C-alpha cells in the first residue's frame, strides 16, 4: 500500500512539479550555471517541492480519520524513502533522453544510480531476510543439566510471510528449552492492525519450547502482551516486573521480566539465591537498574543494531549498547539485533545489520 501511495505521489509530483514551487526554490532553479546543472537543480526541486506539497495535503486529509500517530509516521517514512528510489530512476531516464547532458556526467550519473539501486536492493531484500544464528555459551555451577535458551526480540510481525516462516523453522530446529522474547512482537499500529495480531498468534502457536515461552512488552505492544499470553494459557507467559521460577531435570532457573519503563531496582523479594537468574527487558537502558549481585545474565533488544548501520552516526543515534555482548558492573548482558523492522519514520530496511536468533547454552560447570 505504501509503495503504491509513494508512486502515486511521485506521479503527481512529475505532473504538477513545474507549477508548485515556493519562491526560494524558484530562485535557486533560475540561478546561473551550465544548462545541464541548471536542469538538474530544476528537476530536483520541482519533484521535491511538489512531493512535499502532496504528502502534506494527503496527511491533512487523512489526519481526522486516524487515531494513531504511528500510521501517519509510517506513511511519511515509506513515501519519503521510496522517493529516493523513484528519483534516481527518473533522473536516469532524463539523462538518456536529453542530448545536452555532457558525456562524463552521463557516465558518472549512471554509475551513481547503479550504486544507489544496489544499496536499495540489498537493504530491502537481502539484509532484512538473512536471519543469522548467534551462539553464546556460559558455564555455571547453578545447574546440573545443559539448558538451551532462544532469545528473540523485535519480531514486529506484520503478516505471516517469508521471514516469519523462516524464523519458525530456525527456532524449532534448535529445540530450545526456553524461549524469551524481549518485546515488540507486534507492530504499530497494532490496535488497528488485526493482521499483525493474528500473525503473531500464529507464530506463537507454532513455536515449541520444553519449558515455555516468556515475553515482556515493548514500545509497539505496550499493555498488549497479556492478550497474546491469554490466547495460549500456560504455553506463553507475559511477565510484568515479576519473577518466574522453574525447576526440572536438574535445571534451576529464575526469570525476571521487566516492564517497558520499569523502575524496579530491588530484586531480593522472591529471589532464589541458588538459581541461575536471568533478567530480560525490551531496552538496554534498564541495565542501569541492576547491580552485580542481582543476575547472572541480562537480555535486551530494542536497538535493531541500529537497523541501518553507519559508523559513528549509529553510535550517536543508538548509544554504546548497540548490539552484542557487554559487561555492566560484572553483569554480562546481550543486546539482540531483533528480527523485524522499525516503523514510524524509519522505512522497513536494514543495511549491514542482520536479523538474528540468539542461542544461549547454559552448561554445567562440571562438563
> Stretch 181-203: mean pLDDT, rounded?
78
> Stretch 183-201: mean pLDDT, rounded?
74
Among 53-67, 148-162, 222-236, 263-277, which is the least confidently predicted range? 53-67
Rounded to the nearest 10°, the torsion over CA 123, 128, 130, 132 is: 120
DSSP 81-94: HHHHHHHHHHHHHH
Percent of the chain with pLDDT over 70: 70
Distance between CA atoms of residues 122 and 126, nearest Å: 5
Question: Do residues 196 and 158 touch, judged by C-beta distance below 8 A?
Answer: yes
Indicate the pTM of the whole model.
Answer: 0.81
Nearest of 155, 162, 151, 92 to residue 126 by alpha carbon = 162
Helical H segments across the chain, by residue range? 2-16, 23-29, 35-62, 69-97, 103-121, 127-129, 162-173, 194-206, 225-232, 313-318
Q: Which three cell numbers stand for residue 259?
A: 516492564
Local confidence band at 190 (pLDDT 50, 70, 90 cut-offs): very low
CA angle 364, 339, 343 (to 5 degrees): 145
Distances (CA, A) of 329 to 129, 193, 277, 283, 326: 35, 41, 16, 17, 10
The predicted structure's pLDDT at residue 259: 92
> Stretch 12-26: mean pLDDT, rounded?
57
pLDDT per position as a tens digit, 22-43: 555 555 555 544 566 676 776 6
Task: Between 83 and 139, name the one with better pLDDT.
Answer: 139
CA atoms within 13 A on the CB side of 228: 32
pLDDT per position as a tens digit, 104-117: 777 877 787 788 88
Question: Do residues 95 and 107 touch, judged by C-beta distance below 8 A?
Answer: no
Distance between CA atoms of residues 189 and 115, nearest Å: 34
Handedness of CA 337, 340, 346, 352 (dihedral sign): positive
The predicted structure's pLDDT at residue 186: 84
Q: Which three cell numbers stand for residue 273?
A: 539465591
Question: Do residues 280 and 314 touch, judged by C-beta distance below 8 A?
Answer: no
Local confidence band at 61 (pLDDT 50, 70, 90 cut-offs): low
Nearest of 308, 282, 281, 279 to residue 293 by alpha carbon = 279
Residue 265: pLDDT above 60?
A: yes
| Domains assigned to the chain | 2-128 (no CATH), 132-364 (3.60.21.10)
According to DSSP, the residues that pair with 356 across neighbouring strands are 132
The predicted structure's pLDDT at residue 161: 87
Question: Do residues 211 and 179 touch, judged by C-beta distance below 8 A?
Answer: no
Nearest of 342, 267, 285, 326 to residue 136 by alpha carbon = 326
Distance between CA atoms of residues 363 and 151, nearest Å: 16
Amino acid at each position: 500500500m505504501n509503495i503504491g501511495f509513494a508512486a502515486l505521489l511521485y506521479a503527481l509530483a512529475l505532473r504538477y512539479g513545474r507549477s508548485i514551487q515556493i519562491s526560494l526554490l524558484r530562485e535557486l532553479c533560475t540561478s546561473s550555471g551550465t544548462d545541464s546543472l541548471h536542469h538538474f537543480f530544476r528537476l530536483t526541486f520541482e519533484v521535491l517541492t511538489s512531493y512535499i506539497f502532496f504528502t502534506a495535503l494527503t496527511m491533512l486529509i487523512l489526519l481526522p480519520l486516524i487515531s494513531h500517530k504511528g500510521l501517519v509516521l509510517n506513511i511519511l517514512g515509506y513515501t519519503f524513502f521510496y522517493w529516493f528510489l523513484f528519483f534516481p530512476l527518473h533522473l536516469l531516464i532524463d539523462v538518456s533522453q536529453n542530448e545536452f547532458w555532457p558525456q562524463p556526467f552521463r557516465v558518472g550519473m549512471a554509475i551513481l544510480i547503479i550504486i544507489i539501486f544496489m544499496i536499495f536492493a540489498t537493504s530491502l531484500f537481502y539484509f532484512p531476510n538473512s536471519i543469522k544464528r548467534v551462539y553464546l555459551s556460559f558455564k555455571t555451577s547453578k545447574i546440573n543439566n545443559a539448558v538451551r535458551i532462544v532469545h528473540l526480540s523485535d519480531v514486529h510481525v506484520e503478516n505471516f510471510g517469508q521471514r516469519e516462516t523462516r524464523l519458525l523453522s530456525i527456532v524449532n530446529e534448535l529445540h530450545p528449552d526456553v524461549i524469551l522474547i524481549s518485546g515488540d512482537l507486534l507492530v504499530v499500529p497494532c490496535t488497528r492492525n488485526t493482521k499483525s495480531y493474528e500473525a503473531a498468534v500464529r507464530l506463537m502457536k507454532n513455536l515449541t519450547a520444553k519449558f515455555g515461552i516468556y515475553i515482556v512488552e515493548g514500545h509497539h505492544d505496550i499493555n498488549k502482551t497479556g492478550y497474546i499470553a491469554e490466547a495460549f494459557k500456560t504455553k506463553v507467559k507475559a511477565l510484568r516486573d515479576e519473577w518466574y521460577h522453574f525447576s526440572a531435570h536438574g535445571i534451576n532457573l529464575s526469570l525476571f521480566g521487566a516492564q517497558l519503563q520499569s523502575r524496579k531496582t530491588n530484586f531480593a523479594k522472591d529471589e532464589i539465591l541458588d538459581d541461575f537468574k536471568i533478567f530480560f527487558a525490551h531496552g538496554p537502558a534498564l541495565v542501569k537498574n541492576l547491580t552485580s549481585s542481582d543476575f547472572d545474565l541480562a537480555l535486551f533488544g530494542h536497538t535493531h543494531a541500529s537497523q541501518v548501520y553507519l559508523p559513528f552516526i549509529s553510535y550517536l543515534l543508538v548509544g554504546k549498547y548497540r548490539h552484542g555482548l557487554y559487561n555492566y558492573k560484572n553483569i554480562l548482558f546481550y543486546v539482540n539485533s531483533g528480527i523485524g523492522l522499525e516503523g514510524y519514520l524509519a522505512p522497513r530496511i536494514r543495511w549491514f545489520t542482520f536479523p538474528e536468533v540468539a542461542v544461549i547454552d547454559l552448561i554445567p560447570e562440571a562438563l
